Amino acid sequence: MDYTSPVTAVAAGFPAEELAFAAAWASIAPGGWALALDGDATEGGNDGLISVFPPGCELPVFYLVRQRNMVVIERQRPKELGGGAVRVSTHGSLAAALLELCPLVDEQVERVRVAMRENAGTPL
């Protein structure tokens, strides 16, 4: 994720604490998950968008869309089936959405917490 630009983080529409969790989750989730912020996701009523790249994927497979007080997991329908976004599930937080995509065991969750504490002073 791009944590060097405060403008990107603010435009993404996600609270700083949720973005910190996402960065730690991506660094600890097994297999090599990657995330990318999209600061221009305000079209269509969306407050923010994070593209999710599962292990081994060069293109995003999931999209985490901030809509009011919810985070929606979406997936692109194949072009052969008409394309477009398909809602997978809805969550109350970014952390809950990420943990649905790749759950972590207790030890990994503790490592996420430690990483968040260690990076608390890091600017977005």
pLDDT tens digits, 51-107: 999 999 999 999 999 988 899 999 988 889 888 889 999 999 999 999 999 999 999
User: Looking at the domain assignment, is residue 78 inside a domain?
Assistant: yes
Output the pTM of the full model. Answer: 0.80
User: Looking at the domain assignment, is residue 98 inside a domain?
Assistant: yes
pLDDT digits (tens, 9 = 90+) for 4-34: 333 344 445 888 889 999 999 999 999 999 9
User: Looking at the domain assignment, is residue 57 inside a domain?
Assistant: yes
Residue with tokens 């995509």: 101
Query: Which candidate, 62, 65, 36, places its Cα nearest to that of 48?
Result: 65
Domain encompassing residue 64: 6-104
User: Looking at the domain assignment, is residue 122 inside a domain?
Assistant: no
Length of the chain: 124
User: Looking at the domain assignment, is residue 118 inside a domain?
Assistant: no
User: Looking at the domain assignment, is residue 50 inside a domain?
Assistant: yes
d(CA 14, CA 97): 13
User: Looking at the domain assignment, is residue 23 inside a domain?
Assistant: yes
Number of domains in the chain: 1
User: Looking at the domain assignment, is residue 123 inside a domain?
Assistant: no
